[in-house]
Chain A
Amino acid sequence: MTSFMGKVLRVDLGAGTAESVEIPAQIYEAVLAGKGLEAWYLYNHIPAGADPLGPENILAFAAGALCGTGAFLTGRWSAACKSPLTGGWGDANCGGLFAPAIKQCGYDAIFISGIAEKPVYLFCDGKTAELHDASPYWGLDATEAEKALHRELDGVCRKKPCVACIGPAGEKLSLISGVCNEGGRIAARSGVGAVMGSKKLKAVVLAGARPLPCHDPDRVKALSRELGHKLLKMTLPTGLGVFIGAGGAMMGHLPNIPLDGAMTAYMFREWGTQANTSLAITSGDGPIRNWGGTPRDVRLMEAVYNPEHINRIETAKYHCYSCPLGCGGRLNIRGRKHVSFDETHKPEYETIEAFGPLLMNWSLDSIFQLNELLNRAGMDTISAGNTVAWAIECFDHGILTPAQTDGLYLTWGNTEAILKLVEKMIAREGFGDALADGVKRASERFGGKEYAMHIGGQEPGMHDARNDPQLGIHFVAEPAPGKHTVGMNIEYGAMSLCDICSWAPPARLHAKEKDFEDTEEMALISKANACYTMLVDGAGGCYYGQMMGVHTWKLVDWLNAAEGWDYDGDHYMEIGERIQTLRQLFNVKQGVDPRSFKLPKRMLGEPPLPHGPLKGVTLEQHRAQVSSHWRAFGWDDKTGVPLPETVKRLGIDKLTEAEP
């Protein structure tokens, strides 16, 4: 017995049909489940040149291999499709309860093609899979739609259903929209929400209750217990967050020091990802004033975004399925300035950075409101923040005028104007309509392309490649460009991949300058990072488990116990390599030239920043580093296209012949 359900649900919204399809065991051995299964299926089944918002595009939802086995931090679900934002591979990933719900219906993944005639939702309880009328829910925000579906179904189903749905942004085909679950947790990136909206699919509702298989549940749980007991003892002193900003300022001057990955667990348990905000402001990691500013432009802003402020209004921690860490939280925001809601999920670092320092916005309260507004609308906060930053900079330079912005004075840090603009983007009203498809489309229409921060059409996550050049490699070499969750040097230092992988270089204390050089070691580091991330995604693991390092979050041991395998780390890293190569092949099939993904000039250090921790930094060897990364993967180092011998070595040629 393995942990796989062995089947997927294939839905055709145009024909109104749903069928269960068996997946050969060799596919799971090759790519696991989650993003791996999605990559294999979408590469095979989406025809070249398919319209991302047309019936041929397939929207996938998948749970990972370890989900439901008892392994901790393995409750992530993934949504994938051909991205309307980039024209190539698109995926987004989210926590909550939806991942186990997929498997409890008896499937590892759900693949949805076609377009429904009128709004529908997919209901599956493990016995039947049906399309129901979603007209009463169309127009509701994601949180209200989820509540309404629960009101309709909770008494009917034996098991409380899990709902993944789009909000108004997805319905209105905003290319920066995502899919939500659990009251506003969102799989936000790549425009997956627009694809769902184009299919007139409001929600997927899952109410299965099947027991989930596992080869050796006792061994899996013993490994989890070891981690659980460690986490129960982890506590940081209250108030420590006030020093994080100073720590960030210091980090700007220190060499790269490999840290114990368990330290990240302390931080995420104490504050969640928002702990990074004040550190990012002072260290150079977080972008300021549309990636053109420095800490001097927002002096002492780290005090505003001190994570202790948010901890004080946290009513309880929020845990995704199978997570003992609880980096999420529910916040009581009632009565705060700019705020019209009573509570919100704790904003992630990305959201705070994108609507705080990036826009020179000093109002933490406004970020609570923006967080809840965007989560309910189902709009990506990273893309939305980058797009608003572009609009403000264009306004600053006179490229946009009040006549074009519906009278909004889009000045830096103008909280009221930022809130109004985001509301307009969600409603696709006036000037907001032009911004609802992201910064690339907006700049093509209005100009100001030099201020449009995107890579291949997708806005970058809130980490600066000038601070961490490995991030720059992944921003452009990743098949879904602009994603910040593939690899960073600080993360590599914490993971100790060399202890599970024979070819992964050890993390050593070294001067930061070395990271900017095009070396074989750097190429292997970036390759190892990408392979491990893909492996984690195939297992359904959480990025924050990954960051704890292989000695704390024992992925290889869990996989062997759950599947009854006895593979070493090298074998598993090859699975990651296979998944990443499949995703790259998807782009090649869809006519996306990997060379067209380029860092914006500003992120290359053109012009260099005048002061601060990134003063004078340029990424002169960035393109050479990307070529070396491609070469390390066995892809053509000039074009980024996987070489035939690599496809053969990874057995992808045989996999693509295996039709379900």
Chain B
Amino acid sequence: MTKKTPVFDYLNCVSCGICAQACPVSALGMKREGKSGKYRNVFPELVNDKCIGCGSCARACPMEVIRMEDAGDES
């Protein structure tokens, strides 16, 4: 079975944190530091190996900047 993992389009992410809170296993955290235009900001990223590939984050994201992609085979 192929496991899915979230991939983020940070350019259009507004750092609202809806995805991280939607994650049922807290695999996402607003921990990635970067810039939004000129502003220093935080963005979502996987912070542990708990991701179950459920896609809750992608469904919750209002900006539609999360894509679920194959993470490789999981036996």
Chain A residues with CB under 8 Å of chain B are 70-72, 97, 100-101, 104, 158-160, 209, 211-212, 217, 220-221, 224-225, 228-229, 231-232, 235, 238, 269, 314-317, 319-324, 326
Task: Determine the residue in chain A with the shortest Cβ distance to B29.
Answer: A160
A-B contact pairs, 22 of them (CB 8 A): A70-B18, A70-B60, A70-B62, A97-B21, A158-B25, A159-B24, A209-B25, A224-B62, A224-B63, A225-B62, A232-B14, A232-B36, A235-B39, A238-B38, A316-B33, A316-B40, A316-B41, A317-B41, A319-B15, A319-B30, A321-B21, A326-B15
A322 to B23, CA, bound (A): 14
Q: Does B7 contact A (CB under 8 A)?
A: no
Q: What is the distance, in angstroms, from A100's C-beta to the closest C-beta of chain B?
A: 5
In the bound complex, CA of A316 to CA of B56 (Å): 26
Interface residue total, chain B, C-beta cutoff 8 A: 28
Name the contact of A211 in the complex, choosing from B12, B37, B56 (C-beta under 8 A).
B56
- Contact A159 B26, CB 8 Å, known A225-B62, A238-B38: yes
Contacts of A225 in B (CB 8 A): 62-64
- State the total of A-B contacts with C-beta under 8 angstroms: 83
In chain B, positions 1-45 with a C-beta closer than 8 Å to chain A are 12, 14-18, 21-26, 30, 33, 36-42
For A97, what are the chain B residues with a Cβ–Cβ distance below 8 Å?
Answer: 17, 21
**Which B residues lie within 8 Å of A229 (CB)?**
12
In Å, the complex CA distance between A319 and B21 comes to 12
A211 to B24, CA, bound (A): 8
- Residues A322 and B16 in contact in the complex (CB < 8 Å), given A72-B62, A225-B63, A225-B64: yes
Question: In the complex, A326 Cα to B13 Cα: how many Å?
Answer: 12
Given A158-B25, A232-B36; A317-B64 close (CB under 8 Å): no
Bound CA–CA A97/B24 (angstroms): 14
Question: Distance (Å) between the CB of B8 and the closest chain A CB?
Answer: 14
Contacts of A231 in B (CB 8 A): 14
Cβ–Cβ < 8 Å partners of A238 in chain B: 38
**B16 in contact with A319 (CB, 8 Å):** yes
| Nearest B residue (CB) for A314 | B40
Inter-chain contacts of A322 with B (CB < 8 A):
16-18
Residues of B within 8 A of A269 (CB): 39
Please determine whether B24 and A317 come into contact, CB atoms closer than 8 angstroms: no
**Distance from B48 Cβ to chain A, minimum over Cβ atoms (Å):** 10
Interface residues of B in 30-75 (CB under 8 A from A): 30, 33, 36-42, 56, 59-64
B17 to chain A: which residues have CB within 8 Å? 97, 319-323
Q: Which B residues are in CB contact (< 8 Å) with A321?
A: 16-18, 21
* A159 vs B24: C-alpha distance when bound (angstroms): 6
- Contact status of A317 and B16, CB under 8 A, knowing A70-B62, A158-B24: no
**Complexed CA–CA distance, A70 and B22 (Å):** 10
Which A residues touch B16, using CB under 8 A? 72, 228, 319, 321-324
With beta carbons under 8 angstroms apart, the residue of A159, A221, A315 that contacts B64 is: A221
Contact yes or no, B40 A235, CB < 8 A: no
Which residues of B have CB within 8 Å of A104?
A: 21
Cα separation A469 to B64 with both chains bound (whole Å): 44
* Nearest 6 Cβ contacts at the A-B interface: A324-B14, A224-B62, A160-B26, A209-B24, A221-B62, A228-B14
State whether A317 touches B39 (Cβ < 8 A). yes
Q: Kindly state the separation between the CA atoms of A159 and B22 in the bound complex, as whole angstroms.
A: 10
